[in-house]
Amino acid sequence: MSGARRITILGSTGSIGASTLDVVARHPDRFEVVALTAHRRVDALFEQCAAHRPRLAVMLDADAAAELARRIRAAGIDCEVRAGIDALEAAAQAPAADTVVAAIVGIAGLRPTLAAARAGKRLLLANKEALVTAGPVFMAAVQAGGAALLPIDSEHNALFQALPRDYAREPARAGVRRILLTASGGPFRGVPLAALEAVTPDEACAHPNWVMGRKISVDSATMMNKGLEVIEAHWLFNVPAESIEVLIHPESVIHSLVEYLDGSVIAQLGNPDMRTPIACALGFPERISAGVDYLDLARTGALHFERPDLGRFPCLRLAYEALRAGGSAPTALNAANEVAVAEFFRGALRFPQIPELIEDVLANIPAAPLAGLGDVLAADRAAREQAARWLSSRGARLPGAGRRVAGTRAR
């Protein structure tokens, strides 16, 4: 397959990973799958290995890896199976691949994503937590390794498309006044606030427009996802918090906008399908088909916009506060949110208590400078320990306080 891009997907069994493989399969002459990784979803990863024939499959969970290896051998598939975080990092930086898709959810994806950056890969970034929790450390790794960073979150990919090709993280030189991130508002935009007390995890995961994993769906419902994207946009595009605005756009047709000093506003539009930004990044600088229905504006009709109500969505306010505080504050924000969402899924936390826990953690964990990965992991651990104290004070029991909790694993 001479001339094809050789791809490793970190988190291939999640929604982003599956969408990436769908696009890749449409262009067998352009792309070769070198390695696939997952946490413990053996059935899904085995099916992907059978379909795409990677050279390497990595599972974070050792027992799952052993079962996958047994099934790979039985099927006669020529694929090495490895296990553990070290194997995950090795896959991220292996010379066999030139392109790495970082699609592991949560801070669990930080180490392998950093490894890919240091190795100078063409890095397609969906793991927003790499920038949220370790912004200065991650961007330094990108620069030191000479990595090419291409965002595949729909909003940041939209901004990437709306900015000049030679932008180089210099908003003043490009004449950028502000960037606007659009948000659907999630499933509870018009629900009475009192009704949020009884929200169930399934209701919170019922996103009106997008098909996403469960953790990110809850983040969309609280608008923490948009808050994390504000922080991510700051690091990706070198734009200060006061020049990043969020606009609720229920139709999810405009994915984000850039406003320039001359009054021009450039937007990227498309149907809400993650294969569009993935195909944009995979093919860049060329355009390739993604299997997505083309946008029919006449059929779409009116588009609506409103400013977010920070009383309804306090998580968005907390994210802005963490960005302005700087240092380890966004790390603590992310850790507290991961704990809160996991506890919500477990039934130990009501939906409106998610921002309450996060606010307590931010108030009790002072922001500190981040000089390296050790500082990031220490801040993450301290935030989880404070979250455990908050939960304990309210009678909730957090299993394994200080360890990663559900919702942070590779998917």
Q: What is the CATH number of the domain that holds 321?
A: 1.10.1740.10
Report how far Cα 233 is from the mean position of its chain's Cα atoms: 12
Same domain, residue pair 221 and 330: no
Predicted pLDDT of residue 205: 87
Same domain for 94 and 114, yes or no, is yes
pLDDT band at 212 (very low <50, low <70, confident <90, very high): low
Cα three-residue angle 288-294-296, rounded to 5 degrees: 155
CA–CA gap between residue 256 and residue 154 (Å, rounded): 8
Query: Distance between CA 306 and CA 313 in Å, rounded?
Result: 13
The verdict on residue 305 lying in a domain is: no
**Residue with token string 């404070």:** 386
Q: What 3-state class would DSSP assign to 346?
A: helix
The separation between CA 305 and the C-alpha centre of its own chain, rounded to angstroms, equals 24
Q: What is the mean pLDDT of residues 231-254?
A: 97
Residue ending a domain, choose from 151, 167, 183: 151
Say if residue 53 is in the same domain as residue 136: yes
Q: Which domain holds residue 257?
A: 159-272+295-300
Domain identity same for 253 and 321: no
CATH number of the domain at 54, please.
3.40.50.720
Considering the chain, what is the average pLDDT of its residues? 93
**Is 7 a residue whose pLDDT tops 60?**
yes
pLDDT at residue 394, as a whole number: 86
Q: Phi/psi at 141 (nearest 5 deg)?
A: -65, -40
pLDDT: which is higher, 381 or 214: 381
CA-to-CA distance for 43 and 20, rounded, in angstroms? 18
> Domain check: are 355 and 386 in the same one?
yes
Mean pLDDT of 343-366: 96
* pLDDT surpassing 90 at residue 351: yes
* Residue finishing a domain among 151, 185, 205: 151
Average pLDDT in the 233-248 region? 97
Does residue 335 share a domain with residue 256? no
**What local confidence, expressed as pLDDT, does residue 403 receive?**
37
Question: Tell me: the pLDDT tens digits for 364-389?
Answer: 999 999 999 999 999 999 999 999 99
**Is residue 405 in some structural domain?**
no
Q: What percent of the chain has pLDDT over 90?
A: 84
The answer, yes or no, to whether residue 42 has pLDDT greater than 90, is: yes
Contact predicate 341/218, CB 8 Å = yes
Which of 69, 73, 65 minimizes the C-alpha distance to 39?
65
Segment 1-17 mean pLDDT: 90
Mean pLDDT across 223-243: 97
Peptide bond into 355 cis (omega under 30): no
Residue 286 belongs to a domain:
no
- Residues 255 and 382 occupy one common structural domain: no
Question: What is the per-residue pLDDT across 262-285, written as a single tens digit (0 to 9) for each?
Answer: 999 999 999 999 999 999 999 999
- pLDDT for 190 equals 83
DSSP letter for 207, please.
-
Do 140 and 69 have their domain in common?
yes
Residue whose pair of structure tokens reads 């001339």 in the numeric block: 3
Q: How confident is the model at residue 408 (pLDDT cuts 50, 70, 90)?
A: very low
Whether 95 and 208 map to the same domain: the answer is no
The pLDDT score that the predictor gives to residue 283 is 97
Res. 2: pLDDT tops 80: no
Residue 118 maps to a domain = yes
Question: Would you say 227 and 241 are in contact if contact means Cβ atoms under 8 Å apart?
Answer: no
pLDDT tens per residue, range 125-145:
998 889 999 999 999 999 999
The answer to whether 407 and 399 have CB atoms below 8 angstroms apart is: no
Spell out the residues 6+ positions from residue 69 whose beta carbon is closer than 8 angstroms to its own: 81
How far apart, in whole angstroms, are the C-alpha atoms of residue 1 and residue 17?
22
pLDDT at 217: 87
Give how many domains the chain has, as a whole number: 3
Strand order from edge to edge, sheet including 148-151:
80-83, 56-59, 31-38, 5-10, 99-102, 122-125, 148-151
194 found inside a domain: yes
